[in-house]
Structure 1
Amino acid sequence: MRKLICLAALCFLGYSQVQAQSQYYIQKDTVSGGHLLKGIISRDVLAQDSTFTWWKENFVAYAKDNEHVQKFAANSKDVELVVFMGTWCSDSHYIIPRLFSFLDAAGFPSSRVTLIGTDRAKTTISHLTQAFGITNVPTIMVMQNGKEKGRVVEYGKTGVAEAELAAITALP
């Protein structure tokens, strides 16, 4: 049953990306007083929102490790990423811009990344967090042929998310 839910969610995500780059809404964040984005968003939305000053700071500050970049680039030809994040979450503020900097260095196209914003309760559109078993953000899922190959939750098990992504893509 869980596989069926995941397949349905992936179909929804694929359809959503064909229909539009971003399908989200802005919700007032009752904790910070700012706003948060909930739904399918794009990196451009994050980069262009002047209230998200954390995006540019962390995108530019990331020092890429060429070994991880090359390993990921060599093994990521047939994978897609499904990324859950919170625009309210300090871990997401740090990790997500750096993830995109890493992906750019590896030549991984943004069109193969589905970025999903959650609220503070870690809910989003169409119950996607429940379907994928998301309990923490950010969560970066590596998908291959419609199946999850592995995931990195927050900073990962080692604290080096890009090393873990490279290792996941190298798995058979």
Structure 2
Amino acid sequence: MKRVLTILCLLSFIKISAQEFNKEVTTENGRQLLVGKINLEGLQTPPYNHWFQQGLDSYQVDETLTTVLKEKLNEYHIKLFLGTWCGDSKRETPRFIKILKAIDFPMDHLEIIALDYRKGHYKTSPTGEEKGLNIIKVPTIIFYKDGKEVNRIVESPLESLEEDIAQIIFQKDYVPNYAY
């Protein structure tokens, strides 16, 4: 009996501590959007898969920079804040993911957080991952090394995603749009 109780307690702890991914909400006008932590599977389901797949298919990765990125980017952890309702996020997110896939970036080093846009919830997530990070525009891509923020790309790249990432990981004088 003691063993059964221990197992039940353990299972309930796992259920409580498990991350909920791809939470979907519906706005007052019936529009669906993802909020909170999401993964690529969430972006590959309707209605998000239309713009996500189209963005993946149409973007040509700058292969001259992929070798350089591949050498150093895997030393980083990345947080990508986006809005599945946001035109800039719909444009940049598939491009960014395609770059990561092209360089075999370890996807367990990527955390994707979808922010809300409903009244009273604007640019927030249900579990507050954005708190204290000064997320003013989406997408915002934050690069961390050794647990510390190194830099970020805000809303759109200055040159190209590949070039901006290279500037960040080689610690050049990179100042993003909408400096934080």
Same fold flag (TM > 0.5): yes
Which residue pairs with 1:82 in the alignment? 79
1:50 paired residue among 43, 46, 49: 46
Q: Per the alignment, in what secondary structure is the counterpart of residue 124 of structure 2? A: coil
Using the TM superposition, give the Cα deviation of residue 28 of structure 1 relative to its aligned residue in structure 2, in angstroms.
1.0
Q: Which amino acid aligns with 2:73?
A: S
Q: Per the alignment, in what secondary structure is the counterpart of residue 47 of structure 2? A: coil
Q: Per the alignment, in what secondary structure is the counterpart of residue 95 of structure 1? A: helix
Aligned residue runs from structure 1 range 106-117, under 5 A: 106-117=103-114
Which of structure 1's runs of 4+ aligned residues deviate more than 3 A? none
Q: Which amino acid aligns with 2:46?
A: S
Using the TM superposition, give the Cα deviation of residue 66 of structure 1 relative to its aligned residue in structure 2, in angstroms.
1.1
State the structure with more CA Rg: 2
Q: Per the alignment, in what secondary structure is the counterpart of residue 138 of structure 2? A: coil
Which residue pairs with 1:94 in the alignment? 91
Is the Cα contact below 8 Å between 2:144 and 2:151 reproduced in 1?
yes
Q: Which amino acid aligns with 1:43?
A: L
Q: What is the CA–CA distance in structure 1 between the aligned matches of 2:69 and 2:38, rounded to whole Å? A: 24
1:4-27 CA distances to partner (integer Å, 9 max, x unpaired)?
xxxxxxxxxxxxxx944x534211
Q: Which amino acid aligns with 2:24?
A: I
Q: What is the CA–CA distance in structure 1 between the aligned matches of 2:133 and 2:63, rounded to whole Å? A: 31
Which residue pairs with 1:161 in the alignment? 161
Which residue pairs with 1:150 in the alignment? 151
Which residue pairs with 1:26 in the alignment? 24
1:136 aligns with 2:137: yes
Unaligned 5+ segments in structure 2 are 1-16, 173-180
Is the Cα contact below 8 Å between 2:74 and 2:106 reproduced in 1?
no
Is the Cα contact below 8 Å between 1:129 and 1:135 reproduced in 2?
no
1:61-97 CA distances to partner (integer Å, 9 max, x unpaired)?
1101012222211111310110000011111111101
Using the TM superposition, give the Cα deviation of residue 159 of structure 1 relative to its aligned residue in structure 2, in angstroms.
4.2
Q: Per the alignment, in what secondary structure is the counterpart of residue 108 of structure 2? A: helix
Which residue pairs with 1:37 in the alignment? 34
Q: What is the CA–CA distance in structure 1 between the aligned matches of 2:27 and 2:65, rounded to whole Å? A: 36
Deviates more, 1:22-31 or 1:142-151: 22-31
Is the Cα contact below 8 Å between 1:139 and 1:152 reproduced in 2?
yes
Unaligned 5+ segments in structure 1 are 1-17
Is the Cα contact below 8 Å between 1:87 and 1:93 reproduced in 2?
yes
Which residue pairs with 1:13 in the alignment? none
Using the TM superposition, give the Cα deviation of residue 116 of structure 1 relative to its aligned residue in structure 2, in angstroms.
0.1
Q: What is the CA–CA distance in structure 2 between the aligned matches of 1:84 and 1:68, rounded to whole Å? A: 24
Which of the pair has the greater relative contact order for Cα pairs under 8 Å at 6+ separation? 1
Q: What is the CA–CA distance in structure 2 between the aligned matches of 1:30 and 1:95, rounded to whole Å? A: 26
Which residue pairs with 2:65 in the alignment? 68
1:20-55 CA distances to partner (integer Å, 9 max, x unpaired)?
4x5342111335x321111100011111x1211101
